[in-house]
Chains A and B, each alone.
Chain A
Amino acid sequence: MTGTLVRLLRVLMTLLSHHRRHPLQTAFLLTGLVTGVALWSAVQVINAHARTSYAEADQVLGAQASHWVRSASGQGVSVEDYVQLRRLGWRSIYPILEQRLTTADRGVVNLIATDLLVLPGDDTAASSGLPEGGWMRLVTPPYEAWFPETLAQQLNLQNGDRLRLNSGTELPPARLFSREQQGLRAFMDIGAALTLLDRSRLSYLVVSELSGDAEDRLSADLASLNPQLRLVANQQRLDLTELTQSLHTQLAAMSLLSFAVGLFIVFNAVRFSLGARRHTLTTLRELGVSQRLLLAAITLETLVMSLIGTVGGLGLGYGLSQLLLPSVAATLQNLYGAVLDYRLLVQPTTVVQAWLLTSAGLVLALAWPLWRQAQRSIQDQRFEPAQWQQDAHARNRLLLGSLVLALLAAVLYFQLTSIAMGFTVLALILFAGAGVLPWVVALVLRGLQRALPESAWRLNWACGEGLAQLGTLRTALMALLLALTANFGVDSLVDSFRTSLSDWLEQRLAADLFVQSDTLDIDDLLANPGDWLIESHRRNGLTVRWQNRPTQIRGLNTQTSDTRALPLAAETDRASAWFEGDPGVIFANEQVRYLAGINLGDTVHLPVQAQTVAFEVVGFYHDYGNPTYQFYLPHERVAGLWPTAGEQGLGLWLSGGNDALAQAEAALLEAGARPGDWTRRDDILAISLRVFDRTFAMTAAINALTFTVAGIALLASLLAIHQQRLPSYAHWRSMGVSNPEWLLIAGLPLGIGLLLTWLLSIPLGTLLAGLLIYDLNVLSFGWTMPLIWRFEPAITLFWLTLVVAGVTFAISALQVRLRLPQALKHLGEDAA
Chain B
Amino acid sequence: MRVYARIAALVILVISTSLAQAEIREPDPGAALDIMRASGEGYPITKPGQPIHFPEDHLAHPDYRIEWWYLTANLTDAKGQAFGVHWTLFRTALRPGSDAEGWTSHQMWMAHSAIHTPQGHQYEERFARGGIGQAGVELTDTGQFDAWLDDWRLLGTAESPVPGSLTTTVNDITLQLDWQADTPWVLHGDHGFSQKSGQGQGSYYYSQPRLQITGQVIVDGTSIPVSGEGWLDREWSSQPLAQDQQGWDWFSLQFDDGASLMAFHLRQENAEPYVRGTWIDADGQSRSLGEGDLLIEPLEWGEVDVDSGKDARKSLPLVWRIELPGQNARWTVWAREANSWLATLVPYWEGPVTAEGSSGGVGYLEMTGY
Contacts and interface: CB of A to CB of B under 8 A. Distances in A.
Q: Do A and B bind each other?
A: yes
Interface of A: 79-80, 83, 86-89, 91, 115, 117-118, 124-136, 139-140, 190-192, 194-195
Interface of B: 14-24, 94-95, 102-104, 106, 108, 126-129, 131-134, 148, 150-151, 169, 345
B104 A86 contact: no
Contact of A195 (B103, B127, B128, B151): B103
Contact of A89 (B16, B19, B95, B169): B169
A115 B134 CA distance: 12
Contact of A126 (B14, B21, B129): B14
Given A86-B134, A117-B128, 20 more contacts: A83-B132, A87-B148, A91-B150, A91-B151, A118-B134, A124-B127, A125-B15, A125-B127, A126-B14, A126-B127, A126-B345, A127-B24, A128-B21, A128-B23, A130-B19, A134-B19, A135-B19, A136-B17, A140-B94, A191-B131
A117 B95 contact: no
A430 B23 CA distance: 57
A139 B130 CA distance: 11
Contacts, number: 84
Contacts of B129: 115, 117-118, 139, 191
A195 B105 CA distance: 11
Given A87-B151, A136-B16, A118 B345 contact: no
A132 B20 contact: yes
A605 B143 CA distance: 56
A134 B15 CA distance: 7
Tell me what chain B mostly uses at the interface: helix, strand, loop, or mixed.
Answer: loop
Contacts of B345: 126
Contacts of B169: 89
A777 B107 CA distance: 54
Contacts of A91: 126, 150-151
Contact of A128 (B22, B94, B150, B151): B22
14 contacts: A83-B132, A83-B134, A86-B128, A86-B134, A87-B148, A89-B169, A115-B129, A118-B129, A133-B18, A134-B16, A135-B19, A140-B94, A140-B95, A191-B103
Nearest to B126: A91
Nearest to A117: B127
A136 B132 contact: no
Contacts of A191: 102-104, 129, 131-132
Contacts of A190: 103
Contact of A83 (B21, B24, B95, B133): B133
Given A128-B21, A128-B23, A89 B150 contact: yes
A197 to B, nearest CB: 11
Instruction: Identify which of B15, B95, B106, B151 gathers the most chain A CB atoms within 10 Å of its CB.
Output: B15
Task: List the 7 closest A-B pairs by CB distance, nearest first.
Answer: A191-B103, A89-B151, A134-B19, A136-B16, A117-B127, A126-B345, A83-B133
B127 A118 contact: yes
Contacts of A86: 128, 134, 150-151
A100 to B, nearest CB: 21
B103 A126 contact: no
Contacts of B16: 134-136
Contacts of A83: 132-134
Contacts of A134: 15-20
A676 B345 CA distance: 40
Contact of B150 (A87, A125, A133): A87
Nearest to A126: B345
Contacts of B21: 128-129
A79 B148 contact: no
A79 B102 CA distance: 10
B241 to A, nearest CB: 20
Contacts of A135: 15-16, 19
Nearest to A190: B103
Nearest to B17: A136
Contacts of B128: 86, 117-118
Contacts of B150: 86-87, 89, 91
B94 A136 contact: yes
